[in-house]
Amino acid sequence: MIHIIPKPTDTPDDNSTGAVMRELKKAGTRYEVLNLDTIDPLDSGLEDEVIWACGIRQDGHQFETLNVLSLHNRVVNTPESIVTCASKVMTTALLLANGVRTPDTAYVKSEEMAQKFLRRHGRIIYKPLYGYDGNGIRLVTEPGELGPGPWYLQEYVKNDRDFRIFVLDGEAVGAITRVSDSLTHNIHQGGIGTPVVIDDEMRAVAEASAAAIGIDYCGVDLLRDPEGYTVLEVNGTPNWHCMAAPIPTLLARYLTECEREMRA
Ligand SMILES: Nc1ncnc2c1ncn2[C@@H]1O[C@H](COP(=O)(O)OP(=O)(O)O)[C@@H](O)[C@H]1O
Ligand SMILES: [Mg+2]
């Protein structure tokens, strides 16, 4: 039995969880929905089970509950990797520690240091530390535009599109490019996604990013500059909008395999 935590942002028209449940059903794998708001992880009765978090609310209660469940169950993705991906600075630190190319980045509380970073690059990007879907991301070119700290700041990489690579079990299995007229190309910000072929460098950098985090599956966001691809972030509860690859089938197969290993 696979226990599934549905993505809180699913809608009838955009139902990631439902797409994977359909594939599990087709494969004859048993599953049920797990509602984190109606269980006590200290008395859940769940042991040696596979739990799949398609998404979780970014709040203390859901993170803690999932973390406790992971003590006696196989949680996909692991709560630790989901939390790591939620933090842009922790993600950056792991990319750097593993030699994965990422834009020059600073995380500072001192306004003087933030201004120095701005002077060094001229154009920088401010990102909310736990941001997603492009929310709150701004271009900063003047000290007056910094706003309140602390600041997670990144050199601006000139681009007209970005790339999202879906990595599952260490392997890049799908990729899209997203194009828009604005700074952020996220689908939720109006970006148009189109499938692209996974080239060798894209594959290498995306798979290295997933390995740096140590995560079952993820969405890796890239930009391309004259020197090649550079990694913006790794998403621990990724969408697969516009992917040509059959991601729900692949995820269902992976979860079924996790379940089988559990029984072995
Ligand atoms: N350093 C950067 N230079 C230029 N554009 C950026 C940079 N960082 C982010 N962006 C744009 O903002 C989008 C969202 O950034 P990302 O780091 O993926 O955060 P989020 O979690 O909000 O998706 C990117 O897909 C890209 O279009
Ligand atoms: Mg992103």
Q: Tokens 């990694």 identify what position? A: 231
* 209 and 176 co-located in one domain: yes
* 6 and 79 co-located in one domain: yes
Running DSSP on this structure, what letter comes out for residue 42?
A: G
Whether residue 150 has a cis bond before it, omega within 30° of 0: yes
Does the pTM of the predicted model rise above 0.75? yes
pLDDT tens-digit profile, the chain (264 residues): 999 999 999 999 999 999 999 999 999 999 999 999 999 999 999 999 999 999 999 889 999 999 999 999 999 999 999 999 999 999 999 999 999 999 999 999 999 999 999 999 999 999 999 999 999 999 999 999 999 999 999 999 999 999 999 999 999 999 999 999 999 999 999 999 999 999 999 999 999 999 999 999 999 999 999 999 999 999 999 999 999 999 999 999 999 999 999 988
Residue 11 lies in a domain: yes
Nearest CA to ligand 1 atom 21: 132
Domain encompassing residue 25: 2-83+246-263
Give yes or no for a contact between 74 and 258, defined as CB atoms under 8 angstroms apart: yes
* 184 and 223 co-located in one domain: yes
Count of domains observed in the chain: 3
* 254 and 228 co-located in one domain: no
Residue 89 lies in a domain: no
* 111 and 69 co-located in one domain: no
Q: Which residues line ligand 1 (CB under 6 A)?
A: 103, 125, 127, 131-135, 137, 154, 156-157, 159, 162, 183-186, 221, 223, 232-233
Torsion of CA 75, 77, 82, 85, to 10 degrees: 160
The alpha carbon of 248 and the centre of ligand 1 are apart by a number of angstroms equal to 25
The alpha carbon of 186 and the centre of ligand 1 are apart by a number of angstroms equal to 8
Q: Which two tokens stand for residue 192?
A: 């148009």
CATH of the domain at 210: 3.30.470.20
Residue 88 lies in a domain: no
Residue 241 lies in a domain: no
Residue 90 lies in a domain: no
* 121 and 67 co-located in one domain: no
Q: How far apart are CA 86 and CA 130, in angstroms?
A: 5
For residue 139, the surrounding DSSP H or E stretch is strand 138-140
* 211 and 254 co-located in one domain: no
Please state the atom number of ligand 1 nearest to the C-alpha of residue 136. 22
* 163 and 142 co-located in one domain: no
Report phi then psi at 46, rounded to 5: -95, 125
The protein residues having their C-beta less than 5 angstroms from ligand 2 (an ion) are 221
* 33 and 77 co-located in one domain: yes
Residue 126 lies in a domain: yes
Q: How many residues does the chain have?
A: 264
The alpha carbon of 219 and the centre of ligand 2 are apart by a number of angstroms equal to 8
Give yes or no for a contact between 123 and 141, defined as CB atoms under 8 angstroms apart: yes
- The bridge status of strand 2-5 relative to strand 31-33 is parallel
Nearest to 83 by CA among 66, 99, 100: 66
Measured at the CA of 58, the angle between CA 171 and CA 240, to 5 degrees, comes to 35
